[in-house]
Amino acid sequence: MRLLLLRHGQTSANTTAALDTAAPGHELTDLGLRQAQAAARALGTLGIGLVAVSTATRTSQTAMPLVTSLGLEPVRHDGLREIAAGDFEMRNDHAAIEGYLGTIGGWLEGDLVRRMPGGETGHEFLARYDAAVARVCGQGSDVTLVVSHGAAIRTWVTHRARGDHAPIHEGLHNTGCITLDGNPHEGWTVASWHREPIGGAWLDDLAAPDPTGGDLEADEAPEDSPQSSGS
């Protein structure tokens, strides 16, 4: 089967580097809505038979143009939510972003017992994302689209998929899309990694200090991230 992992469209939290990981979360910006419309046009001819979203509003908004055009009803799974920021939730200061990315960077290097302060371990994250993907893939569609989140998608793909890819360094911008072939039982292979918006690179906001769309290996926050906490 084919599994498409699409990151949601842009939200205001993405433009301010706020770690917005709890549901329902921020809604899409005007650019995010345009990204969603363009993604629907790009993905609409791929034979998608099932669309799954997380419990965050932004994933449902991103999926809406596509499911409307295909006549599908999106399936919601809490396990597809973003890696919980825990004590760093809705902060955008340097220490919070450094702590969040540093913890995920440890997971990518194999330290899965490491716990996000106030949040989950790498093992706990992979277990709930594995369960959600298995449930989605068990519903009989040959081509499935999952609309999820930047850090979650890349961390899961790093641990669960084979292929010539460098997920630690390769970004996944808003409505960027990773395509996998395989199944939950035999494993997955990366068929493509499209870091820019799938509807067109012109929809990319390169000025946004978006921590979960960039390098997850870095132990430091982006230099241009805000230095005050809050959203």
Q: What is the pLDDT of residues 178-192, one digit of tens each?
A: 999 999 999 999 999
**Choosing from 26, 27, 77, 82, which is the catalytic residue?**
82
Flag whether pLDDT at 221 surpasses 80. Answer: no
More confident residue, 30 or 164: 30
Residues 41-68 have a mean pLDDT of 99
**Considering the entire predicted model, what is its pTM?**
0.92
Token code pair at residue 169: 């360094």
Q: Is 194 labeled as catalytic in the residue annotation?
A: no
Confidence of residue 211 (pLDDT cuts 50, 70, 90): confident
Flag whether pLDDT at 27 surpasses 70. Answer: yes
Confidence of residue 32 (pLDDT cuts 50, 70, 90): very high
Flag whether pLDDT at 117 surpasses 90. Answer: yes
Domains of the chain and any CATH numbers: 2-184+194-213 (3.40.50.1240)
Confidence of residue 48 (pLDDT cuts 50, 70, 90): very high
Q: Is 223 labeled as catalytic in the residue annotation?
A: no
**Choosing from 8, 94, 165, 173, which is the catalytic residue?**
8
Q: What is the pLDDT of residues 92-114, one digit of tens each?
A: 999 999 999 999 999 999 999 99
Other CB atoms within a 10 A radius of the CB of residue 27 amount to 16
Lowest mean pLDDT among 33-42, 159-168, 191-200: 159-168
What pLDDT score was predicted for residue 219? 42
What pLDDT score was predicted for residue 170? 81
